Amino acid sequence: MQILKTRIELENALAFIRGSEHTLGFVPTMGALHKGHISLLRKAQMENDYSITSIFVNPTQFNDPADYSKYPRQLAVDARMLEDVQCDFLFAPSSNDVYDGVRIENFDLGPHMHTLEGEFRPGHFQGVAAVVKLLLEMVQPTKAYFGLKDYQQFMVIKKLAEKYNLHSEIVGCEIIRNESGLALSSRNQLLSSEGKVVATNLSRALYQIRSQFGTIPIKQLLANGKNALSTTPGIRLEYLEIVDAKTLDSLSHAEQGKFGAIALLAAYVEDVRLIDNMFLTFPTGNMNA
């Protein structure tokens, strides 16, 4: 595996792919890799001739400086993990190399940027859009792979690639969970053993909502879920919503989710912010189309 630290090194390493018939699968990450990231890489390897993973903790998508400073960083460990699974390239640039001389745009990617995560993390999706656009322009992959745990982010990135004609297919990949149902996340490293047990209540609430969706009113489903989470010691719920999987509009009746319905939540456990989601009915057509 080649480790690339600068734009110039990236361009030189990938020069043989440019203009050829070779395909390149790209997995952008912020590091602290886990089995979820590796599942993205495996899919990229299956569907492309070459694979590349980036590790870059992007400062512009953190609205809380303390959250940015405590985000787990373990480049050496991550590099060994990627080498073990035969990733072809690791791109690990510095912030200066990504943003030096770049004017950050003010992105208008529609209502997906302003609800849920956009409401509770002002500026977050502006930062996400900025770094993803820059990385896609630098790497120029055939396909880029993103986990659906960050479902709203996935929707924003699809819109970004479409609006700016970034010439990369954006592929969403299923959430990977541990044996207790907890969605795998780099932030889980910040939880104690007890905190991880508490955090399993998040997915438990989503499974409960899914099992009852369509049988009791959505208003009652949400009330039950919010009550269960809010009364669980150690959980501070930020939001729990049921929305249309394509438009992210709130649903009041199950049959309104004509593009599929999804429940999304965010909550704090031990001052670590966690997000999760679960499809209640699946989207019509191809999720990645």
Q: What are the catalytic residues? A: 37
Contact criterion met (CB below 8 Å) for 183 and 175:
yes
* Separation of alpha carbons 78 and 75, rounded Å: 5
Tally Cβ neighbours within 10 Å of residue 16. 10
d(CA 289, CA 287): 6
Two structure tokens written together for 173? 């990949």
Q: Are strands 143-147 and 169-173 parallel, antiparallel or unpaired?
A: parallel
| Cβ pair 249, 238 in contact under 8 A | no
- Distance between CA atoms of residues 175 and 189, nearest Å: 17
Closest CA to 140 of 216, 278, 26: 26
Tell me the torsion sign for CA atoms 267, 107, 29, 155.
Answer: positive
Q: Would you give the distance in Å from CA 61 to the centre of its chain?
A: 12
Half-sphere exposure of 214 (CA within 13 A, CB side): 10
- Tally the residues of the chain: 289
Exposure string for 56-89, b = 16+ CB within 10 A, e = fewer: bbbebbbeeeeeeeebbeeeeebbebbeeeebbb
